[in-house]
């Protein structure tokens, strides 16, 4: 049985879904005002791994919903500063709608390149304004929110548990909230948060705005996640994910407003938070020039799957440190693992499921042992580095037959998502002369002319290219 850390209870808990065999999972998506970076990649790969474990190993059906924040997220999570989308649009000299579309497309492309399975529902905040208004109405009807000339605010004093959620002291949430803002906005309490901003004052020119019972305006950032998660997953669901930055403001706010509206506890059963990725031990920042995109990793000659392997090597509850040296190292480990795997004979049926009791009869005793070691690792709060170590041991094992090794690791890769069985394409920029030699050598190998093919490999190397042989063909790379 899967055990997972629940950041609300701060304990590792057994995972038991609310409904038999079905899991509802909501992930806080990106704010699409700028390029996504490899820190985002880490968070969404961690979500993807959790989902794959639930589906592949636990045999559960997961409905995965992820939002796209295209309105309402201010520079500070505590309702201060500009709207991030407006800021992005100003910088790019484009409309907010153009900026949102452009970065949404870019985000999806980068996440695809990391082999993240797309969520079943990807919902935009701007497509769900009426749902957000309805939810705010419910919250107001229950007496948890109040109207002011500038915004509708959630009254946290009406929600007695608010200060205790995720163990964050109320005073910590006050960091960055200035006293004069409180008076100006007529917030009753500095920690109260906006459900609906009105198009007045600093937002008088706000580009995205809609009619509402409280006047022309736009939703606060937090309400979209409650409205959309409940629309697609119901008032109560199993898993909610996010980065560690959401522990102090965004997620307590989601809980407070959702439970206030529905009167049901809990809104979410398990909270899954990924810690951040840092670069060379420092927070990524534009001024340090260390904000890398997946595209930058590819440009330096690394496979995005090697980056995914890097993510898997760090536990989701530990901060991960990225460095180019580290990238080089994991890229070599990834290539080695893939090479060992692809050298194993294909016989058909290697992808047949190995998980669950029914699969046992089709595995050797040793095969069952390694399968169980893998399951033990992933069920132990997603210990992916231990699961990778099991794969390495399997590939090196001297007693397992090649076919069973291939079957085990191919199944493990349904969780890793490392595309181990996809042989890398031969790059298009290999000179014709070298390609001719490569093809000639392939012919020789087919005819079992080993000495001649070895001699040709050496000639190819002198020309500056390296050949790797796999069971079903070769790849070529520049040395
Ligand atoms: P944002 O677009 O900033 O709202 O972020 C989208 C998601 O990525 C959120 O769940 C963040 O917590 C997460 N995230 C942002 N920066 C990082 C980082 N450096 N490392 C890991 N996750 C991050
Ligand atoms: Zn959210």
Domain segments of the chain as ranges:
18-274, 279-416, 432-478
pLDDT at 158: 93
Rounded to whole angstroms, the Cα distance separating 209 from 194 reads 15
Rounded to whole angstroms, the Cα distance separating 188 from 413 reads 53
* Ligand 1 atom index nearest CA of 278: 19
Q: What is the pLDDT of residues 130-165, one digit of tens each?
A: 999 999 999 999 999 999 999 999 999 999 888 778
Rounded to whole angstroms, the Cα distance separating 308 from 114 reads 6
pTM metric for this prediction: 0.92
CA of 367 to the centre of ligand 2 (A): 42
CA of 222 to the centre of ligand 1 (A): 15
Please tell me if the CB atom of residue 125 comes closer than 6 angstroms to any atom of ligand 1.
Answer: no
- State the CATH architecture for 279-416: Up-down Bundle (1.20)
pLDDT at 173: 63
Q: How far apart are the first and last CA of the chain?
A: 46
Please tell me if the CB atom of residue 66 comes closer than 6 angstroms to any atom of ligand 1.
Answer: no
Please tell me if the CB atom of residue 72 comes closer than 6 angstroms to any atom of ligand 1.
Answer: no
Pocket test for ligand 1, best of 243, 273, 320 (most atoms within 8 A of CB): 243
- State the CATH architecture for 18-274: 3-Layer(aba) Sandwich (3.40)
Q: Is 478 left (phi over 0), alpha (psi -120 to 50) or beta?
A: beta
Equal CATH topology for 18-274 and 279-416:
no
| 285: three-class secondary structure by DSSP | coil
The H or E element containing residue 64 is: strand 61-68
Q: Whose CA is nearest to atom 17 of ligand 1?
A: 39
The encoded tokens of residue 272 equal: 């899954």
Size of the chain in residues: 479
pLDDT at 187: 84
pLDDT at 58: 97
Residues of the chain predicted below pLDDT 70: 168-185
pLDDT at 139: 98
């Amino acid at each position: 049985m899967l055990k997972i850390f629940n950041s609300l209870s701060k304990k590792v808990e057994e995972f038991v879904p609310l409904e038999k065999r079905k899991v509802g999972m909501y992930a806080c998506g990106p704010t699409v005002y700028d390029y996504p970076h490899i820190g985002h990649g880490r968070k969404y790969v961690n979500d993807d791994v959790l989902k794959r474990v639930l589906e592949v190993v636990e045999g559960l059906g997961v409905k995965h919903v992820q939002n796209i924040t295209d309105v309402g997220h201010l520079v500070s999570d505590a309702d201060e500063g500009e709207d991030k989308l407006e800021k992005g649009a100003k910088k790019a000299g484009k409309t907010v709608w153009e900026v949102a579309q452009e970065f949404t497309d870019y985000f999806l492309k980068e996440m695809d390149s990391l082999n993240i399975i797309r969520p079943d529902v990807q919902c935009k905040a701007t497509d769900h304004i009426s749902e957000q208004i309805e939810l705010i109405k419910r919250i107001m009807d229950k007496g948890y929110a109040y109207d002011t000339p500038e915004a509708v605010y959630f009254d946290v004093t009406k929600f007695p548990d608010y200060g205790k959620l995720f163990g964050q002291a109320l005073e910590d949430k006050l960091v960055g909230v200035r006293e004069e803002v409180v008076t100006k906005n007529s917030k009753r309490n500095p920690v109260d948060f906006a459900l609906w901003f009105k198009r007045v004052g600093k937002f008088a020119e706000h580009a995205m705005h809609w009619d509402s019972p409280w006047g022309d305006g736009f939703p606060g950032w937090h309400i979209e996640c409650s409205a959309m998660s409940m629309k697609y997953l119901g008032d109560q669901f199993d898993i909610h994910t996010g980065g560690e930055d959401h522990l102090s403001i965004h997620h307590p706010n989601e809980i407070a407003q959702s439970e206030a509206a529905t009167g049901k506890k809990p809104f979410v059963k398990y909270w899954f938070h990924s810690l951040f990725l840092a670069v060379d031990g420092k927070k990524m920042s534009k001024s340090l020039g260390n904000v890398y995109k997946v595209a930058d990793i590819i440009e330096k000659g690394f496979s995005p799957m090697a980056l995914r392997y890097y993510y898997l090597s760090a536990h989701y509850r530990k901060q991960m440190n990225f460095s180019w040296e580290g990238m080089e190292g994991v890229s070599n480990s990834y290539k080695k693992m893939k090479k060992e795997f692809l050298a194993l004979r294909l016989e058909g049926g290697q992808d047949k499921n190995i998980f669950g009791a029914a699969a046992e009869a089709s595995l050797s005793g040793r095969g069952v042992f390694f399968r169980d070691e893998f399951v033990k690792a992933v069920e132990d709060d997603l210990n992916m580095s231990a699961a990778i170590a099991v794969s390495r041991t399997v590939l090196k094992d001297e007693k397992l037959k090649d076919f069973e090794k291939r079957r085990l690791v191919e199944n493990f890769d349904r969780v890793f998502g490392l595309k181990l069985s996809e042989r890398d394409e031969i790059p298009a920029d290999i000179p014709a002369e070298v390609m001719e030699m490569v093809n000639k050598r392939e012919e020789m190998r087919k005819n079992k002319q080993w000495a001649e093919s070895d001699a040709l490999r050496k000639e190819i190397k002198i020309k500056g290219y390296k050949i790797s042989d796999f069971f079903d063909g070769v790849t070529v790379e520049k040395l």
